[in-house]
Amino acid sequence: LDTTCTNAECYKQRNMTLLKQALLANYDMTIQPPHFGSERGALVSVQLALQQFQELDTTNQEIRFFSWWRHSWTDPRLAWNPDHWGGITELTFFGHDEHKQIWIPDTIVYEAVESVFQVPGGVQPNVYSSGGVWQSVPVETRLPCPMKPRTFPFDEQTCEFEFGCWSTHGFQVDIKPRGGDEPAPFTLAASYRPNPEFDLVEVRTAAIDFIYGCCPEPYPIVKYKFRMRRHSETYNYGLVVPMILTTLAGFLAFVANPQSGERISLGITCLLTSAALYIVAFEVLPKTGNMTIISLLYVLSFAFSWTTLAVSVLSVSLYGVKSSTGVMSEYELVSAFVKADTDESGDLDKKEVENAVKKLGLPPAKLQKLRKKLDSLHGQRLTLPVWYDLVGDIYETDGLAAYHSYIVGIILIPFVKLERRKRKAFVLRRVQAANDQKDLSESTMSEANSSNSPGLRRRQPSTKAVAPEP
């Protein structure tokens, strides 16, 4: 007679121990539970209860989530009659690693790079008197997720993975979604916490039999497909909007006064700001060969910033062109033509050309260059347009700031030539207008002198001073 137990709880604990010993006697945990009425193996129902997406690494294209993998199956070898064991309806066994006491399906996520079980000693499955077994395993899973970042940060990503037994085929263990007629292979845990960067939009599942080329037996698996949408607000306010505003700010240089140095400084600042913004964006961009919206926006922003800066440099440099006052100024060289035209014929003969050249006071190099140009004309009379073109070869300005840079000077050559053509046309129009006005004045005076007679002359007012009245 056992006198060690003095209360009902003690008898229950003793009965549970004896029941475990009776169930495990001659129990082989390496053999799958028998399944009757079907050629398929023992039916194991599975369900994924998602607790949190811990990380969606766009750069390394990986996903990490925490979930409970729920399993349920029936093992007739573990059934008992509760009436024979003091009303016991549930037992707990070890079901992990070397301490495993009963058969456990070796299910895994096939694509998982790492699976970390959160219970150090392993989850203890619950066994009921009907032979039903229930196990919920908390696992942190990390697996690759190829992403398509072309529309980043307005992208939707899809991650797929498969879940099934590692070493047993469908004739030994049959994996099916939990739920029976209404399968529910996926659910959100009661403590589910949304990811701060992605929204879980949709989860698709499918239970299929996969047949490998090596083996004729089917391998049942459950396929999961997550579709997630990124929260773009952070990237909109932190990258997209600042980059657009920085680009637009660069165009303000077109309304700034070219005389102010801040025009070039604004272009440089916008350029550096765009570069700094992209350095920040580069840290979160996936390292793939695809062009993203952020990359395209940066290229456009950088191109516009460079364009505004280049236009500002050209504008400031062209604005710096001022009339020189020395003997090499355009004004002095054109005025020399007018002074040399003593006969007021509108062109210069050879003698007038020689006198004009001597009075210019040009340096020897410039003088020699001008004489070569004149010799090529073979003594022809020089008109003002021809003289203006000759002046263009020896004309210099001390007001073009870009001449301090050889590269910028080369860039400005077509602009300077265009400016000279416009100024030439303007000068010729002014000269022609002056000549026309002079001819008109001379004609008017001539007509007035010929029409005047002593009887028609007006009395000229006296030039003597008139004393004021008292």
Q: What is the pLDDT of residues 158-181, one digit of tens each?
A: 999 999 999 899 999 999 998 877
pLDDT at 460: 41
Query: CA angle, 226 as apex, 222 and 227 as ends, to 5°?
Result: 150
pLDDT at 389: 75
pLDDT at 152: 82
Residue 96: pLDDT band (50, 70, 90) is low
Those residues whose C-beta lies under 8 Å from the C-beta of residue 87, and which sit 6 or more positions away, are none
Residue 334: pLDDT band (50, 70, 90) is confident
Residues 454 and 84: their CA atoms lie apart, in Å, by: 161
Q: Which of the residue ranges 21-25, 129-133, 346-350, 452-456 would you say has the lowest mean pLDDT?
A: 452-456
What HEC string does the chain produce?
Answer: CCCCCCCHHHHHHHHHHHHHHHHHCCCCCCCCCCCCCCCCCEEEEEEEEEEEEEEEECCCCEEEEEEEEEEEEECHHHCCCHHHHCCCCEEECCCCHHHCCCCCCCEEECCCCEEEECCCCCCCCEEECCCEEEEEEEEEEEEECCCCHHHCCCCEEEEEEEEEECCCCCCCEEEEECCCCCCCCEEEEEEEECCCCEEEEEEEEEEEEECCCCCCCCEEEEEEEEEEEECCHHHHHHHHHHHHHHHHHHHHHHHCCCCCCHHHHHHHHHHHHHHHHHHHHHCCCCCCCCCCHHHHHHHHHHHHHHHHHHHHHHHHHHHCCCCCCCCCCHHHHHHHHHHHCCCCCCEECHHHHHHHHHHHCCCHHHHHHHHHHHHCCCCCCEEHHHHHHHHHHHCCCCCCHHHHCHHHHHHHHHHHHHHHHHHHHHHHHHHHHHHHHHHHHHHHHHHHHHHCCCCCCCCCCCCCCCCCCC
pLDDT at 359: 75
Residue 457: pLDDT band (50, 70, 90) is very low
State the Rg of the chain over Cα.
Answer: 49
Residue 14: pLDDT band (50, 70, 90) is confident
Does residue 46 surpass a pLDDT of 60? Answer: yes
Which amino acid would we find at residue 8?
A
* Averaged pLDDT, 446-451: 63
More confident residue, 383 or 113: 113
pLDDT at 221: 95
Percent of the chain at pLDDT > 70 equals 81
Q: Which of the residue ranges 284-298, 331-345, 397-411 would you say has the lowest mean pLDDT?
A: 397-411
* Averaged pLDDT, 426-452: 71
pLDDT at 466: 38
* Averaged pLDDT, 193-214: 90
pLDDT at 462: 40
pLDDT at 176: 92
252-274 per-position pLDDT tens digit: 888 877 777 678 888 888 888 88
* Averaged pLDDT, 289-300: 83
pLDDT at 65: 95
Residue 401: pLDDT band (50, 70, 90) is very low
Q: Is the pTM of this model over 0.85?
A: no
Does residue 461 surpass a pLDDT of 50? Answer: no
- The answer to whether residues 226 and 158 touch, using CB atoms and an 8 Å cutoff, is yes
* Averaged pLDDT, 305-311: 86
Does residue 113 surpass a pLDDT of 60? Answer: yes
Mean pLDDT, all residues of the chain: 80
Does residue 469 surpass a pLDDT of 50? Answer: no
pLDDT at 399: 47
Length of the chain measured in residues: 470
Residue 453: pLDDT band (50, 70, 90) is very low
349-399 per-position pLDDT tens digit: 878 887 877 777 777 777 777 778 777 877 677 787 887 777 666 655 544
pLDDT at 380: 76
pLDDT at 320: 61
More confident residue, 388 or 190: 190
More confident residue, 19 or 331: 19
